[in-house]
Structure 1
Amino acid sequence: MSIAICSLKWEAARSGRQKITYDRDGYHLVRFPYGAGEEAYDPWRMHEPFHGGTGPSKFPDARSGLIWPSHDGWGTLTALVFWEPDNRPTEYRSRFVRDPLDLSTGYDSTATTDSVPTRGGQYRSYLWQMFVHPGTPVGLKISARGPGDVKIAAPLMMAELKLAIQTDVARP
C-alpha cells in the first residue's frame, strides 16, 4: 500500500495570531505557513504557494489554508484545533471542505461537527475520510458561535491539518 502525506501545523506562539474572518458560509478557513518552520511534512508538495493562482500565495492569505492532493485516492483528513480561553462562545463548529475558495470544482462541505464548550480547555480533534483528487483542494473551516448564532472571532492557539492519501485504491 502506498500513502502520500501532507501534515501542516500553525501555532500562534510561533507565527503570530491568526485573524479570524468569516466567509460567506459563516466559517473561517484555517491558514498554515509554508515551508518546514512549524513541523510541516510535505514531500509530495501538496501545500505549495504556487497552487491555485496566477502568483504565489503568502501566509496568511486564504490560499495558505489549502492542501492540493497530489494523487487520486482515498483520503484521511485529520485536524486538531486549540481555542484560547474565551467565555463568549456557546458552540464550536468545524468542517472539512472540498474547494473552499471555489477555485476548481466548487465548494463542497462535509463532516460538519458542532460541540458546546467544556469547563476545561477547548481542544478539538476531527477525522473524516473521502475520495480526493489533484484538481480539488481541501481545507479546514472553523467557527465559534455565541447566543443567537452570532459569529465570534474567538482566538485560536494552535491548529493542525493532515491529509493521508491511499493511492492504490481498488475500483470496480
Structure 2
Amino acid sequence: MSVAICSLLWDAARHGKQTIKYDRDGYHLVRFPYGTGQESYDSWRMHDPAKGDTSPSEFPDARSGLIWPSHEGWGVLSAMVFWAPDGDPTEYRSRFVRDPLGLTTGYDSTATTDSAPTRGGQYRSYVWQMFVHPGTPVGLKVSARGVGDVKLATPLIHAQFKLAIHTDVATP
C-alpha cells in the first residue's frame, strides 16, 4: 500500500508568534509557511501556494493554512499545537475542516475537540481519519476561549499539521 504524505511545520522561534484571527465560525485557520526548509516533507506539493486561486498565496494569508490532497484515499490527519501562556483561556478547541475557506465543496468541519487548561504548558495533539479528495483542501482550525465563550487572542508558539493518504483502499 502506498502512502502520500504532507507534513507542515510552523514555529514562533523562526516566524514570531502566530496571532489568532477568528473566522465567522469562531475558529482560526492555522497558517504554515511555504518554501524550502519550512515543511518537514511535501514531495507531492500538497501545500502549494498556486492552488486555490488565480494568484499565488503568501504566508500568512488564509490559503497558507490549506493542504490540498494529491490523491483520493483514506486520510490520516494529525496536528500538534502549542499555545502561548497568554489570555487566561478556560478552554482550547480544535477541529479538522474540509474546505475551510469555502473554495470548492463548502465548509465541512469534523473531529472537533475541546480541553481545559492544565497547570503546565498548553500543548495539544490531535488525530482524525477520513476520506480525502484532490479537489477539496483540508485545514486545522483552533480556538482559545474564556469565560462565557469569549474568544481570546491567545497566540500560538508552535504548530504542525500532517496528512498521510493511504491511496490503495481495499474494497470487498
**Shorter-chain-normalised TM-score: which range?**
over 0.9
Number of the residue aligned with 1:70: 70
Number of the residue aligned with 1:150: 150
What is the rounded CA distance, in whole Å, between the counterparts of 2:39 and 2:129 in structure 1? Answer: 23
1:119-141, Cα deviation, whole Å (9 max, x unpaired): 00000000000000000000000
**What are the residue-to-residue correspondences of 1:19-58 with 2, within 5 Å?**
19-58=19-58
Deviation at 1:17, TM superposition (A): 2.2
**What are the residue-to-residue correspondences of 1:19-168 with 2, within 5 Å?**
19-86=19-86, 88-168=88-168
> Structure 2 counterpart of 1:156, which letter?
L
Secondary structure of the equivalent of 2:124? strand
Whether the aligned pair in 1 keeps the contact of 2:87 and 2:154 (CA below 8 Å) is no
What is the TM-score normalised by the length of structure 2?
A: 0.97
Whether the aligned pair in 2 keeps the contact of 1:11 and 1:38 (CA below 8 Å) is no
Deviation at 1:39, TM superposition (A): 4.2
Number of the residue aligned with 2:9: 9
**Percent of paired sites with the same residue:** 78
Secondary structure of the equivalent of 2:40? coil
Deviation at 1:16, TM superposition (A): 1.9
Q: Aligned Cα RMSD in Å?
A: 0.9
**Where does structure 1 differ by over 3 angstroms across 4 or more consecutive aligned residues?**
none
Secondary structure of the equivalent of 1:151? coil
Deviation at 1:67, TM superposition (A): 0.1
Secondary structure of the equivalent of 2:67? coil
> Structure 2 counterpart of 1:139, which letter?
G
Whether the aligned pair in 1 keeps the contact of 2:87 and 2:153 (CA below 8 Å) is no
What is the rounded CA distance, in whole Å, between the counterparts of 1:16 and 1:92 in structure 2? Answer: 21
Whether the aligned pair in 1 keeps the contact of 2:19 and 2:154 (CA below 8 Å) is no
What is the rounded CA distance, in whole Å, between the counterparts of 1:43 and 1:37 in structure 2? Answer: 13
Whether the aligned pair in 1 keeps the contact of 2:67 and 2:138 (CA below 8 Å) is yes
What is the TM-score normalised by the length of structure 1?
A: 0.97
